[in-house]
């Protein structure tokens, strides 16, 4: 990953941005949300039946209309161990206020909010269905707001292999080397564009494309998932090209 300050292995990246709940070996990648690591309907200590979607979404009285988001958001401010990538692209300092998928992911995965701390459940809110947190968990990322050692997110990606992309008020650095797949979305990667109002929406445009946690992970375990940790690609090996290995879906090496 020549253009990033960080050179962590893909295994470390997957653990950092990955998901836990149901043991990884107990679910089939790409088979849907039920029985996947994000299915807490029968895997939490509570005395009431919990819907499959409840921990993240609710149709009424959600925290926000966007995603009808139901899970309490973290109050952490996130920082990195560096200020820029090797290519000179600034790392974000506004994830806590950035209305993009990464903030939603970190509402559970930074370990500061209980998995079951939701805005609305069973005619009552706010409610803590389960006090379990990801503290000291292998999938905790951004604990205490520290994003050190994690793959950059909420940053621009050189979509179309051109320079000068702007995303989340960040522009790609002058030293970014064009060693990228021109359009990673053709390989199952999900990219976003800046809507202009401080939020990310699906679908990149040339000059306006960015990466979020859900670019490489599918929280719903849909058909794009190929490997563990809800990855949109395979974790092991360095061959197979963009059809398999997760790194090569974006990085042309």
Query: pLDDT tens digits for 153-177?
Result: 999 999 998 878 999 999 999 988 8
Q: Is the pLDDT of residue 12 over 70?
A: no
The total number of residues written for the chain in this structure: 253
For range 114-123, the mean pLDDT: 90
Which is it for strands 117-118 and 127-128: parallel, antiparallel or unpaired? antiparallel
For residue 20, the model assigns a pLDDT of: 40
pTM of the model: 0.86
- Distant-in-sequence contacts of 57-65, Cβ < 8 A, 24+ apart: 58/118, 58/119, 58/120, 58/121, 60/120, 61/119, 61/120, 61/125, 62/119, 62/120, 63/119, 64/99
- Which tokens is 149 given? 């050692």
For range 129-134, the mean pLDDT: 83
- Give the CA dihedral 161, 162, 164, 165, nearest 10 degrees: -50
- Give the CA dihedral 213, 77, 206, 192, nearest 10 degrees: 40
For range 203-222, the mean pLDDT: 96
């Amino acid at each position: 990953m020549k253009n990033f300050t960080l050179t962590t292995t893909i295994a470390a990246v997957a653990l950092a941005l990955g998901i836990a709940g149901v043991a990884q070996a107990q679910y089939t990648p790409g088979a849907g949300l039920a029985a996947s690591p994000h299915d807490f309907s029968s895997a939490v200590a509570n005395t009431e039946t919990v819907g499959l979607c409840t921990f993240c979404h609710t149709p009424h009285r959600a925290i926000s209309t966007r995603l009808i988001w139901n899970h309490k958001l973290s109050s952490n401010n996130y920082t990195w161990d560096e200020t820029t990538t090797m290519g000179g692209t600034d790392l974000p300092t506004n994830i806590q206020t950035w209305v993009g998928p990464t903030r939603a992911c970190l509402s559970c995965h930074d370990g500061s909010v209980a998995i079951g701390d939701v805005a609305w459940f069973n005619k009552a809110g706010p409610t803590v269905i389960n006090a379990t947190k990801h503290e000291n968990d292998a999938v905790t990322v951004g604990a205490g707001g520290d994003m050190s050692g994690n793959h950059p997110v909420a940053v621009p990606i050189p979509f179309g292999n051109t320079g000068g992309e702007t995303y989340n008020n960040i522009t790609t650095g002058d030293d970014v080397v064009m060693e990228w797949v021109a359009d990673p979305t053709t390989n199952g990667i999900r990219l976003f564009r800046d809507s202009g109002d401080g939020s990310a929406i699906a679908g990149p445009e040339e000059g306006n494309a960015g990466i979020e946690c859900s670019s490489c992970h599918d929280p719903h375990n849909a058909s794009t998932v190929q490997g563990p940790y809800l990855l949109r690609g395979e974790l092991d090996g360095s061959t197979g090209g963009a059809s398999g290995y997760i790194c090569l879906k974006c990085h042309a090496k």
